[in-house]
Amino acid sequence: MKRQSRSFEIALAALVCAVGAASLTLGSFVDFLLAMGYMIAVFALMVLLTKRLVRGYLLAYAGMVILAFLFTGFAMGIFQLLPFVAFFGLHPLANWLQREYTKKKPLHLLWFILKAVWFDLSLWLAWIVLQEFLGLTQMRWYAFVEENFFLLLFLGGTLVFAMYDYMIFLCQRAADGVMRRLRR
């Protein structure tokens, strides 16, 4: 594969940053689009990984987060962007590192366990920070969740993460295929 120039990497990172920041900002202002904003930002970041531009990925990620905080206001943005900052924005990079540098099956299992723990801890952080902000303490089911929190978190969170991780691997493979066809 031909090595990309630094100017190409910076330009592509800036484009990805703009798309991601716009989607995260729109998702922050329109509540039902927040998950879609996360997904668009994650897919935009995957474009950089198809060309093996890790520095550009980190630059675009940092730019997305900073711009989204500036556009949404730090007080509102911290609550809505916390899951993206803590997990979703860095997860494609972890998958790419796993795919590029891990060849043995037991190490893939170790990667999965580490990422699942990371996901569960990110959910726990989001729960701690967001339960008062979202008014979850007044919900009818709050007592049940509070009693069984760690069981729900680690069992349910890990099952959801297993599906999410598999889907993100498939999305990265599809993005790689699209970029390979575009090069011709």
**6-55: pLDDT as tens digits:** 999 999 999 999 999 999 999 988 878 889 999 999 999 999 999 999 99
Backbone CA torsion sign across 117, 122, 128, 130: negative
The amino acid at residue 160 is V
**Whole-angstrom Cα distance, residue 99 to residue 84?**
22
Q: Read off the pLDDT band of 4 (50, 70, 90).
A: confident
* CB of 80 closer than 8 Å to CB of 73: no
Q: Measured between alpha carbons, how far is 179 from 50 in angstroms, rounded to an integer?
A: 7
Mean pLDDT over each residue of the chain, to the nearest integer: 88
Give the up-direction half-sphere exposure of residue 59: CA atoms within 13 A in the CB hemisphere: 15
The band of 84, judged by pLDDT with boundaries at 50, 70 and 90, is: very high
pTM given for the model: 0.87
Q: Which pLDDT band holds residue 95 (cuts at 50, 70, 90)?
A: very high
Is residue 69 pLDDT above 70, yes or no? yes
What pLDDT sits at residue 89? 94
CB 115 within 8 A of CB 161: yes
Query: How many angstroms separate the Cα of 89 from the Cα of each of 7, 72, 144?
Result: 23, 17, 31
Residue 166 pLDDT exceeds 90: yes
pLDDT band at residue 132 under the 50/70/90 scheme:
low
- Lowest mean pLDDT across 116-120, 137-141, 168-172: 137-141
Which residues, in sequence order, are CB contacts of 52 under 8 Å at separation 6+? 1
Closest C-alpha among 168, 174, 178, 179 to residue 53: 179
Q: In which band, very low, low, confident or very high, does the pLDDT at 97 lie, cut at 50, 70 and 90?
A: very high
pLDDT at 57 over 80: yes
Region 54-73: mean pLDDT is: 94
Q: Are 162 and 86 in contact (CB under 8 A)?
A: no
Helix 91-101 with 157-183: angle, nearest 10 deg: 70
| DSSP character at residue 137 | G
154 or 3, which is more confident? 154
